[in-house]
Amino acid sequence: MDELRTKYLDQIGKVADEAALEDLRLAALGKKGEISLKMRELGQMAPDVRQGAGAALNRLKDEIDAALRAKKSALGDAALDARLKDEWLDVTLPGRPRRQGTIHPVSQVTEEVTAIFADMGFAVAEGPQIESDWFNFDALNIAPEHPARQEHDTFFMARAEGDARPPHVLRTHTSPVQIRAMQGQGAPIRVIAPGRVYRMDMDQTHTPMFHQVEGLAIDRDISMANLKWTLEEFCRAFFEVPSVELRFRASHFPFTEPSAEVDIRCSWAGGVLKIGEGDSWLEILGSGMVHPKVLAAAGVDPAQWQGFAFGMGIDRIAMLKYGIPDLRAFFESDLRWLRHYGFAALDQPSLAAGLSR
Ligand code: DAH
């Protein structure tokens, strides 16, 4: 027994991996292992010898078993340590941009706009691009015979023959998201809704699909003054200039009363557009106080709540900010164009780190 003990403890000490350890366990304690066979021999011994030998053999078996287990756990720890060392990765290393693709200016500007309004407490709301006639028009106080319906050059979806309901449309503006957002969360509410919109139009300044961002702020005492401040703050941050001047021109939209179109002061000196100085004005958005009928259609009581809304062309402000002359290039997927105007994928616009660098 002493020989067996020395032999196995010695070998267990030297074993280097879990597979070899398992072989050793079988050789000692397996069904046909050396110690198990010795146990079987007990039966042939005289009873008085058997008692002493049996106890000693059991102790030996326990001792070898404990040594095997201890070794097994030590080997496991060592294997884990080795793996951890092997698979170590420095997650603090800076990224290595491959400069293959770049962020499209429309995506970049959408992120910039979102960052600025998020800072002012606006959440992002979404709606479907295939919209019902009711959300796109009726709920926004655009009645079936209203001329605005023609002005919008709407794309209509097909209806099954004999189906008399008005067809769905490709939304012509992001304004229906106002209705969906108010239906969903009621008032007070502060959201922007950036997204794709569609109109049947195509020339140097129009494409059948383009991007808008809608803004909506409803509370108990929101006024045009809040609208003006919000838009000024936005323009200053977006164009990254120390100050801007806005001009509110009386206008008409069915979904706002009063309504205003907003121009920004700029100069074209030397053919270069500069925002915030000069003697020219550039129209950048439509806005106004949300019409009581629109609030009511969205389930918000106009006797208790009021607020402003605005709608702005994302492509348009992207062109203005980054000096992009032709709208159509946005949608041509020309890699050379993208590399020229595109943005590094790892530069997330933020107010703290800079919107565009
Ligand atoms: N929906 C308008 C359009 O696409 C833009 C607009 C104007 C949105 C005034 C508004 C607003 O929310 O108040 O032409």
Domain ranges of the chain: 2-86, 104-344
Question: What DSSP line would sit under 264-304, residue for residue?
Answer: EEEE-GGG--EETSSSEEEEEEEEEEEPHHHHHHTT--TTT
pTM above 0.85, yes or no: no
Å from CA of 309 to ligand 1 middle? 8
| Best residue for ligand 1 mutational test, from 189, 191, 253, 289 (most atoms within 8 Å of Cβ) | 253
For residue 197, which of 177, 228, 172, 214 has the smallest C-alpha distance?
Answer: 172
Tell me, in angstroms, the distance from the centre of ligand 1 to residue 285's CA: 8
Query: What number of other Cβ atoms are within 10 A of residue 322's Cβ?
Result: 13
Say how far apart CA 133 and CA 32 lie, in whole Å. Answer: 83
pLDDT digits (tens, 9 = 90+) for 20-40: 999 999 999 999 999 999 888
pLDDT of residue 110: 97
pLDDT at residue 357 in the model = 65
104-133 burial, b if ≥16 CB within 10 A, otherwise e?
bbbbbbbbbbbbbbeeeebebbebeeebbb
User: Cα(244)–Cα(242) distance, rounded to whole angstroms?
Assistant: 7
- The pLDDT of residue 99: 66
pLDDT at 45: 87
Of 3.10.310.30, 3.30.70.980, 3.30.930.10, 1.10.3720.10, the CATH number of 104-344 is 3.30.930.10
**CA–CA distances in Å: residue 127 to residues 6, 86, 211, 253:** 78, 48, 13, 21
Ligand 1 atom closest to the Cα of residue 312 is 5
* Residue nearest (by alpha carbon) to ligand 1 atom 3: 173
**Atom in ligand 1 nearest the alpha carbon of residue 172:** 4
Q: Name every protein residue with a CB atom under 6 angstroms from any ligand 1 atom.
A: 173, 175, 214, 253, 256, 286-288, 309-311
The per-residue pLDDT string of the chain (357 residues; one tens digit each, 9 = 90 and over) reads 889 899 999 999 999 999 999 999 999 999 999 999 988 888 888 888 888 888 999 999 999 999 999 999 999 999 899 999 999 988 898 877 776 778 999 999 999 999 999 999 999 999 999 999 999 999 999 988 888 787 778 999 999 999 999 999 999 999 999 999 999 999 999 999 999 999 998 887 889 999 999 999 999 999 999 999 999 999 999 999 999 999 999 999 999 999 999 999 999 888 888 898 999 999 999 999 999 999 999 999 999 999 999 999 999 999 999 988 888 999 998 989 998 988 887 778 888 878 886
How far are the Cα atoms of 12, 74, 288 from residue 27, in angstroms, in the given order?
11, 20, 88
Count other Cβ atoms within 10 Å, centred on residue 325.
7
Angle (deg, nearest 10), helices 105-119 and 224-239: 130
Q: What is the pLDDT of residues 50-106, one digit of tens each?
A: 888 889 999 999 999 999 999 999 999 998 999 999 999 888 988 777 767 789 999
- The per-residue pLDDT for 273 is 85
Can you list the positions of beta strands (E) in 176-327? Answer: 189-198, 209-219, 246-253, 256-267, 274-275, 280-290, 306-313
Which residue CA neighbors atom 14 of ligand 1 most closely? Answer: 173
Closest ligand 1 atom number to CA of residue 288: 13
Q: Which atom of ligand 1 is nearest to the CA of 140?
A: 1
Closest CA to 103 of 348, 350, 314, 355: 348
